[in-house]
Amino acid sequence: MTKPSRPCGVQPPYRGTRTLLVVALLTGLGATGCVSTLLDPGSGADPSTISSPTASATKPSAPTAPLTTAAPSVSVGPVTEPSLPEESPASNKLRTTETVISGRSGTVSWRVRVPKFSGAPAATEVNSRVRAAVNGMIAQTKREGRGDDGHKRRLDGEGTVVTNDGRTAQVTITYGDYLAGTAHPTNYVTTTVVDVARRKPIVLEQVFTHPTAAYKKLEPAIVRAAGEQASGIDRSGLAPKKANWANWQTNKTGIVFVFGDYQLGTHGLREYAVPWSTVEPLLTGYAKRVLAPR
């Protein structure tokens, strides 16, 4: 008899073979040519500095061992906005190639394709955040593998540059955790957003003037964006907690939120875009300058 996968994650996990486009580097979230190895999986940045992997399993059909780490957020008052240099010139736009992070430990193997940035001082920060995100997922997969009774487990991942406009660099990485003998993988997502001029990550507390109130206002916007899928949404996955909204990216149309396996009640990653017309009244002045369309 094969042993079922036991996924873990910050949010209610979901499983699915679908791979999303997006990865943006984001610290504390809970950040839109393959040639060389980007990291030593045995070392690297502290995974706690990035957005926690999204996935959690609370449905009977998806047995899991919940992972970690983000605690529910509390109401946050007006934030102190970071000082911003003069508007970033177009020359701050980073160059990108691709690299593959791969390795093996016992019965666990991994292969994750991610973007690699160059061309401006901020590139080092972006690469570090991406590396930390992947390291966190590899560490989680290795922990899962300890209880697999010899069954092989494989982590595959794909990173996508969502935004690279000279103001921010944003990357989404989606992962599939495959355990031999199970019907389908468990999928996860990490996102990263980095302010190129400041060379620092952007977190949700810097995006929304009142984060908890913003999450409450975003819930009906997500339901509207879901359209025909809205009837199948478990709204507990949209509760005003930071962990539920930790994976996000911005583009010309608005903010895209990515929700984990079973987080909204069904299997598979889900992503929904909230238009700028809805989002902008909720933003800090800093977020309007670095995230909203010019």
Domain locations in the chain? 14-74+95-290
The predicted pLDDT at position 293 comes to 94
Q: Which residue positions in the chain have pLDDT lower than 50? A: 1-77, 87-88
Q: Distance between CA atoms of 181 and 183, rounded to whole angstroms?
A: 7
Cβ atoms of residues 208 and 216 within 8 Å: no
> E-strand spans in 93-207?
95-105, 108-118, 153-159, 163-164, 168-170, 173-179, 186-190, 193-195, 200-201
The predicted pLDDT at position 89 comes to 52
Strand 254-259 with 14-15, pairing: unpaired
Cβ atoms of residues 36 and 215 within 8 Å: no
Name which of 160, 143, 91, 88 is nearest 119 in CA terms: 91
Cβ atoms of residues 170 and 164 within 8 Å: yes
Residue 4: burial class (beta carbons within 10 Å; 0-12, 13-18, 19+): middle
Q: Distance between CA atoms of 132 and 194, rounded to whole angstroms?
A: 13
Q: Distance between CA atoms of 234 and 248, rounded to whole angstroms?
A: 19
Q: Distance between CA atoms of 127 and 167, rounded to whole angstroms?
A: 16
Per-residue pLDDT reduced to its tens digit, 228-255:
888 889 999 999 999 999 999 999 999 9
Beta bridge partners of 175: 157, 188
DSSP state letter for 19:
-
Neighbours of 138 (CB within 10 A): 25
Beta bridge partners of 179: 153
Structure tokens at 267: 């299997």
Residue 231: burial class (beta carbons within 10 Å; 0-12, 13-18, 19+): exposed
Per-residue pLDDT reduced to its tens digit, 108-126:
999 999 999 999 999 999 9
Architecture of domain 14-74+95-290: 2-Layer Sandwich (3.30)
Global confidence as pTM: 0.71
- Backbone φ, ψ for residue 93 (5° rounding): -65, 130
The predicted pLDDT at position 178 comes to 96
Cβ atoms of residues 192 and 174 within 8 Å: no
- Backbone φ, ψ for residue 174 (5° rounding): -110, 145
The predicted pLDDT at position 268 comes to 86
Structure tokens at 98: 């691709």
Half-sphere exposure of 48 (CA within 13 A, CB side): 4
